[in-house]
Amino acid sequence: MQKNKKFLISSKFLAHLLIGGVFLCTSCKSLYNADYKKPDLVDAKASKELKKLHKKLYYISKEGFAVGHQDDTAYGIGWTKSDFPNVEKSDVHDVIGDFPAVYGFDISKIELASDKNIDGIPFNTMRELIIDAYSKGGIITISWHADNPKTNGDSWDATPAVNTIIGEGQYVEKYNLWLERVAVFLKSLKYKGKTIPVAFRPFHEMNGAWFWWGNPNCNAIEYIQLWRNTVRVLRDQHKLHNLFYVYSPNKLNPEDDYLAFYPGDKYVDILGIDIYDFKNSEDYIAAAVHDLNLVQSIAKTKDKLYAFTETGLEAITTANWFSQVVYPNLENTGISWVLFWRNHTKKHHYMPYKGHASEADFKAFENAPKTLFLKDINQLKL
């Protein structure tokens, strides 16, 4: 019989909280304590909200892992937000009666000053959804499938382009304009007058060949320069102090070096990895176990948080996938969160919806001791 963890805090986690004194008001006590040391963040001027989120993610990783979903409240199977403008709708909520703890969004096309992203979500709607999720205690992570600056193709136009937007490249000014537009949007994410903290994950899966910023379409030296320039422009020029910078390669091949494209400890806050199950659970489990163990080891050496930044099984075709494939191989990894990809159509979705064959299995996953959804993380008193 599975443990019902809802509205409970484990004795081990309670000890962390009591030792740290995190039940005390932060205005009466330092944010840091004997258990939670001050982290070395990319941004020395990080906002108070960003610092509090780091602490929250740290304690989440001690209790279990936060469960996230891409575009959860923007659309789902058979609906979009525009169909229900006055209703907070979610496929995950329809199944378990709770929302994800982590909300993923993508700002692709913001660089073109488009009013909608690559998936057709109006940026005004995205902003509203982010503010609403944060106001309810949710954690926000944002990726950026930027267009190819050289060809104006999409992210999957693998024409080499990184060398054109660094150094003396011909499109440096164009890219700086793109970053200005990114900054304007990220600065507009405010709740009660304060900028919402965001785990920002640009230029992900750089060890794969499918994006213009990926290997072999650029080399490690070019990639690192692009990343560092991006951080400097957003942080120093545009004064964005509400961002964690998340480094997330794709599933590692035997010859891959996780740190091959690593921009350096001063430019990365959180380590991640993206791994999908391509209808081969044995291979998926092997990759997840190996890669997450590696990320855990590196993160501990560098004293950084780490996460399972993208995952999923398209259409969830394997029986008991969440409870028997995912959960046993994540429960003791120490990740802060796991993000499952979006629900677009009945052929292309990564979370169950009402009536889905995996509905009961997902409820079992939700009831497992270490899966933390929105209600669970809202129990953390920081």
174 located within any domain: yes
pLDDT at residue 155 greater than cutoff 50: yes
pLDDT at residue 20 greater than cutoff 50: no
User: Do 377 and 60 form a contact (C-beta atoms < 8 A)?
Assistant: yes
pLDDT at residue 7 greater than cutoff 80: no
Give the CATH number for residue 273. 3.20.20.80
pLDDT at residue 246 greater than cutoff 70: yes
320 located within any domain: yes
> Which structural domain range is residue 323 located in?
39-377
Burial of 113 (0-12, 13-18, 19+ CB in 10 A): exposed
* Res. 380 pLDDT band, cuts 50 70 90: confident
* 256, 278, 374 from 253: Cα distances, Å: 5, 15, 34
Q: What is the mean pLDDT of residues 298-325?
A: 98
Q: How far apart are CA 66 and CA 165, in angstroms?
A: 36
Tell how far CA 199 is from the center of its chain: 6
Q: What are the residues whose beta carbons fall under 8 Å from the beta carbon of 24, sequence distance 6 or more?
A: none
pLDDT at residue 77 greater than cutoff 50: yes
pLDDT at residue 156 greater than cutoff 50: yes
Nearest Cα neighbor of 322 from 280, 370, 362 is 362
Which pLDDT does position 26 carry in this prediction?
41
Which pLDDT does position 46 carry in this prediction?
98
Which pLDDT does position 42 carry in this prediction?
98
Q: What is the mean pLDDT of residues 37-66?
A: 97
209 located within any domain: yes
Q: What is the mean pLDDT of residues 301-319?
A: 98
* Res. 358 pLDDT band, cuts 50 70 90: very high
The single residue listed with the structure tokens 């035997």 is 254
Q: Is the peptide bond before 100 cis (omega within 30 degrees of 0)?
A: no
pTM, entire model: 0.93
12 located within any domain: no
Q: What is the mean pLDDT of residues 171-181?
A: 98
Q: How far apart are CA 128 and CA 134, in angstroms?
A: 10
In this structure, what DSSP letter does residue 287 have? Answer: H
Which pLDDT does position 382 carry in this prediction?
65
101 located within any domain: yes
Q: What is the mean pLDDT of residues 44-60?
A: 98
* Res. 11 pLDDT band, cuts 50 70 90: very low
Average pLDDT, the chain: 93
Conformation bin of residue 203: beta by default, left when phi > 0, alpha when psi is -120 to 50: left
Q: What is the mean pLDDT of residues 318-341?
A: 98
- Residue predicted with more confidence, 27 or 166: 166
Six token digits for residue 228: 């560092």
pLDDT in tens, 92-120: 999 999 999 999 999 999 999 999 999 99
Which pLDDT does position 23 carry in this prediction?
38
Which pLDDT does position 30 carry in this prediction?
86
Which pLDDT does position 8 carry in this prediction?
46
Which pLDDT does position 311 carry in this prediction?
99
Six token digits for residue 162: 């990184």
Which pLDDT does position 24 carry in this prediction?
38
Q: What DSSP string describes 139-163?
A: EEEEEE-PPPTTT---TT-----GG
29 located within any domain: no
> Domain tally for the chain?
1
User: Do 229 and 163 form a contact (C-beta atoms < 8 A)?
Assistant: no
259 located within any domain: yes
Burial of 185 (0-12, 13-18, 19+ CB in 10 A): middle
365 located within any domain: yes
* Res. 5 pLDDT band, cuts 50 70 90: low
Which pLDDT does position 10 carry in this prediction?
52
Please report, rounded to a whole number, the percentage of residues in the chain having pLDDT higher than 90: 91
Q: What is the mean pLDDT of residues 73-80?
A: 98
Q: What is the mean pLDDT of residues 353-371?
A: 98
